[in-house]
Amino acid sequence: MTITRSIVIHGAKDLRIEEGEAETCGPGQVLVRIERGGICGSDLHYFNHGGFGAVRLREPMVLGHEVSGRIEALGEGVDNLRVGDLVAVSPSRPCRSCPYCLEGKPNHCLNMRFYGSAMPFPHIQGAFRELLVADASQCIVANGLSAGEAAMAEPLAVCLHAVRQAGEVLGKRILVTGSGPIGVLCVLAARRAGAAEIVVTDITDQTLAHARTAGADRTINTATETDAMTAYGANKGYFDVHLECSGAPAALASGIAALRPKGVLVQLGMGGDMNVPMQAITVKELNLRGSFRFHEEFATAVSLMRGGLIEVKPLITHSVPLEQAASGFYLASDRQLAMKVQIEMA
């Protein structure tokens, strides 16, 4: 019997490292020794608040869905991977048979098994484990990247999906509200897609510095530059696309005011229910679009990183060993100090 350690959340601020028996891989599966796991905003919601919005912890749950590691064993029939390969492991596991999967919308799967999610009950256990059995189809070869970079494939895929939701961005003016990891990755994704101008807002200088490093043309601290967004609202607006990454009602409202008529608002920040200025959306004929998770964009994220077309390493500001996981969560909760905190699982 092989023992593996996992990072388990029992309630707000109640994070434990627990031991259990490792699974064995079956046909079409692989055993991955996880090396890095990135702490995501949803992980922080579970850690700090026991959930977000209507989603609440109702049982202990292994956290984590931004992971990478090395293939340790192959199940029967797996011939596209090799023992020793570094892989990014996609947390997206649609059933492939429900109506939405059959319609080509796997991110809306009715039976989705997305790592570390308390949306269904029983909860879907996460990937912060030393040993993880995954479907071979979830694993994208990331040889040539560091384990830390490979673990960034998941948040990058989120942002690639969001930019895709925006439609054509070539030559467009883009506003990104929220300069956490998702906001900064949206800067990288939008620039790669051909955006002509990108402005980023947030309320901390530290996070905005990362947006500038990623290529933002202008950054605005709305806590100290309280009138800076006003000019963008002149003549019915300036921006063609607003990528709202903060989940903050004030950021949403400022972006709507700054969008040009028939502009596109993509909401991907998950902060709970928000008040939406619907009349402003109506009179400007704005397009309001949600952006939820991803699927095929995961492999694209790995490809872009391996090709040197998107550089994520500057976003990884801290890493902590598994034994100090709780300290890592407290660090990741401090936006003044950290951008992306990763846990060294091996």
Give tens-digit pLDDT for 147-205: 999 999 999 999 999 999 999 999 999 999 999 999 999 999 999 999 999 999 999 99
User: Tokens 């609440």 label which residue?
Assistant: 56
Q: Is the pLDDT of residue 54 over 90?
A: no
Contact 181, 213 (CB under 8 A): no
Instruction: List domains and CATH numbers for the chain.
Output: 3-152+312-344 (3.90.180.10), 157-290 (3.40.50.720)
**Each residue's pLDDT tens digit, 204-217:** 999 999 999 999 99
Pairing type for strands 3-11 and 61-62 reads antiparallel
Query: DSSP per residue over 190-250, as a string?
Result: HHHTT-SEEEEEES-HHHHHHHHHHT-SEEEETTT-TTTTGGGGGGG-SEEEEEE-S--HH
Model pTM greater than 0.85? Answer: yes
Q: What are the start-end ranges of the E strands in the chain? A: 3-11, 14-21, 29-38, 51-52, 55-56, 61-62, 66-74, 86-89, 131-135, 139-141, 173-177, 197-202, 218-221, 239-244, 259-267, 287-290, 316-321, 340-344
SS3 content of the chain, % helix, strand, coil (to 5): 30, 30, 40
The per-residue b/e assignment along 303-313, b for 16 or more CB within 10 angstroms, e otherwise, is: ebbbeeebebe
Res 108 pLDDT > 90: yes
